[in-house]
Amino acid sequence: MVNKFDEQIQAFMRKTELRNSNEPEFIQAVHEVAETVIPFMTKNKSYKKANILERLVEPERVVMFRVPWFTDKGEYMVNRGYRVEMNSAIGPYKGGLRFHPSVNLSILKFLAFEQVFKNSLTTLPLGGGKGGSDFNPKGRSDREILCFCQSFMTELSRHIGSNTDVPAGDIGVGSREIGYLFGQYKRIQNEFTGVLTGKGLSYGGSLIRPEATGYGAVYFAHQMLLKNKMDFQGLSVAISGSGNVAQFVCEKVIELGGVPVSMSDSSGFIYDKNGIDTEKLKFIKKLKNIKRGRIKEYAAHYGCEYFKDKKPWGIKSDVAFPCATQNELDEESAKELVKNGIKCVTEGANMPTTPQAIEVFHKNNVLFSPGKASNAGGVATSGLEMSQNSLRISWTREEVDSRLKDIMIGIHNTCVEFGKDGKQINYVKGANIGGFIKVADAMIAQGHV
Ligand code: NDP
């Protein structure tokens, strides 16, 4: 995007790059925000005077620690653990934990930074944070996972708390890991509090939390389609990933009459021209959540095509949901999608679309929503889990789902309000400015924080 604020944006980015060298993902996330927030700040002098953006890109605190553990064979292992406590202006730090070999400070700072805006957009009192480890859970036994989680929480426990910092799951951290982490926190602190979200229903979890990110993304996409006089009925839908977010995107798309035709994992993608229906999705859930197998087994079972080491962006689809990981949809892929008539791209993952790909979508009038808006349903429902824990009550499935839907509609409206760009809505601009205002106002109100 070229605009008359380029010089200011470049000056700000030069300074940020200097202070955060070797952190490309973090720089990418900051740049995307700076491009839309800097022009907005120049019209609102109090933000500029308070130097808010420079303060926002500096984490309030970063914790790094050693995580020693041992394998079933008795080998001594060590990984690195992190918690980035980015911003607590509007509430306790909130954001997931990621266990993946690619985890490093750049990735966690980008995720924590995005989380600040996302959490603000939900309208709930949630600050932003993110954490995790470069631990690879793939192929590890339950006992090894337990050993790792206990060691990780032994150190993390001193930095978190239900009014301080409330982690949740992310890539590689699902209900099993949250259970092990919660158990260890309780043993160390001798208190049963809502210190983690995504908990099991038997010990303080919320109904709809597992479904929330995926359902929320589809509710958001539905709003975008409705605003443009379309809906999901009969639309073919490309989904990447086959984990938590992808599974529940698939489920809600089927419910709304769309036809999911692809899912993937880090080894490749399946293309099921006949559509993934409820029965087939059940197979995927069992394959991924219980057997912990690979997506190619779906192709073998249902006799559909499997593309090794490829992403599903070359297939014909009306709507795309990237739900695996950052930068998984590049410029080339965006051009392919446009060529094949894509109408709407909704990010389920965090920053899965590169800046060049976003530009392709904007230039071609493809509806595009950034993850900080469209995947906010997960953290919103985590916020609802925190409320239920504090009140010591449990809301029904319908109650939580209806609150989730209202929150997603609210976020969509915020994006529309702040994202006007001629006759179009620029959802990236809308989400950045809409998320920014509340945090910036709170920081100014609280003095020099
Ligand atoms: P899961 O671990 O449940 O699933 C991740 C999926 O993405 C798996 O299919 C995995 O394949 C695939 N994947 C992971 N890394 C890569 C990679 N480098 N290349 C290709 N595929 C990859 O994670 P979630 O579904 O929870 O998270 C997915 C995305 O959604 C992440 O960006 C996360 O930050 C974001 N998100 C998640 C939320 C949640 O509530 N869970 C909330 C908001 C955002 P494989 O099994 O082969 O590794």
The CA 129 to ligand 1 mean position distance, Å, reads: 18
- Of 130, 372, 429, 438, the catalytic one is 130
Going by the DSSP 8-state scheme, the letter that residue 352 receives in this structure is -
Q: Where are the beta strands (DSSP E) in 217-323?
A: 236-239, 259-265, 268-271, 305-308, 319-321
Contact 281, 251 (CB under 8 A): yes
Q: Is the pLDDT of residue 1 over 60?
A: no
**Residue 2 clears pLDDT 90, i.e. is over it:** no
Residue among 94, 197, 265, 297 to mutate when testing ligand 1 (max atoms within 8 A of CB): 265
**Which ligand 1 atom is nearest residue 168's CA?**
40
By CB atoms closer than 10 A (0-12, 13-18, 19+), residue 72 is exposed
Chain centroid, CA 256 distance in Å: 22
- Relative to the CA of 352, which ligand 1 atom is closest? 32
Cβ atoms 124, 152 nearer than 8 A? no
Q: Encoding tokens for residue 167? A: 């982690």
For the CA of 111, the closest atom of ligand 1 is 34
pLDDT for 448: 72
Average pLDDT along the chain: 97
Share of the chain above pLDDT 90, in %: 97
Average pLDDT over residues 352-374: 98
Tens digits of residue pLDDT in 394-421: 999 999 999 999 999 999 999 999 999 9
Q: Is the pLDDT of residue 209 over 90?
A: yes
Domains of the chain by start residue, with CATH = 61-192 (3.40.50.10860), 212-363 (3.40.50.720)
Ligand 1 site, residue 443, Cβ cutoff 6 A: no
Residue 49 alpha carbon to ligand 1 centre in Å: 39
pLDDT in tens, 3-25: 678 999 999 999 999 999 999 99
Q: What is the pLDDT of residues 125-145, one digit of tens each?
A: 999 999 999 999 999 999 999
392 C-alpha to ligand 1 centroid (Å): 31
pLDDT confidence band for 277 (50 / 70 / 90): very high
pLDDT digits 0-9 by tens, 282-321: 999 999 999 999 999 999 999 999 999 999 999 999 999 9
How far apart CA 345 and CA 365 sit, in angstroms, is: 11
**209: CA distance to ligand 1 center in Å?**
16
Q: Beta-carbon neighbour count of residue 27 at 10 Å?
A: 20
Regarding the beta carbon of 169 and ligand 1, being less than 6 Å apart is answered yes
Q: Is 161 exposed, middle or buried (0-12, 13-18, 19+ CB in 10 A)?
A: middle
Active-site residue 130, yes or no?
yes
DSSP 25-62: HHHHHHHHHHHHHHHHHHTSHHHHHTTHHHHHTS-SEE
